[in-house]
Amino acid sequence: MALDELKSAVPDFAKDLKLNLGSVIGNSDLPKQQLWGTVLACAIASRSPKVLRELEPEAKANLSAEAYTAAKSAAAVMAMNNVFYRTRHLLSDPEYGTLRAGLRMNVIGNPGVEKVDFELWSLAVSAINGCGQCLDSHEQVLRKAGVDRETIQEVVKIASVIQAVGVTLDAEAVLAE
């Protein structure tokens, strides 16, 4: 199992990450599609080649072709949106918020999977990319759809652990050179 290989690659000084990785993925109560779509989108968003190489095959094996593509689409569109909306939010001139975005993001309206799943994956990627405006937007859509706070927090925990593992493993790879 790739998850076990990834856990074994985590150095002893980051034992908490190893334990959390097993817990947030291995003991998740999320439905399989929500879990593995989150894992794949977060592995992509982590920008860690090692994390993506280890988690992608298992995600692909646990997702339909449509869900696999949608999770990758969530990571792609949120990579763009998180930069754009975070920047608009951080600029002190409020006029930027009134300007038309003019960016295509059709996949959000028609992701090819249940809207809730895509929103969860988008929220997770937004957590990794640190866009508060996107986090609020996706959280509100999810709450209106009846998703409870515990589910939203579970997705954020997955995002945080995958990101931390990616940072740690990439740093260790650089230090080993």
Catalogue the active-site residues.
Answer: 131, 134
CA 133 to chain centre: 16
Quick one: DSSP state of residue 113?
Answer: S
Alpha carbon distance 53, 32 (integer Å): 20
CA 31 to chain centre: 16
Rounded to 5 degrees, φ, ψ at 62 are: -100, 0
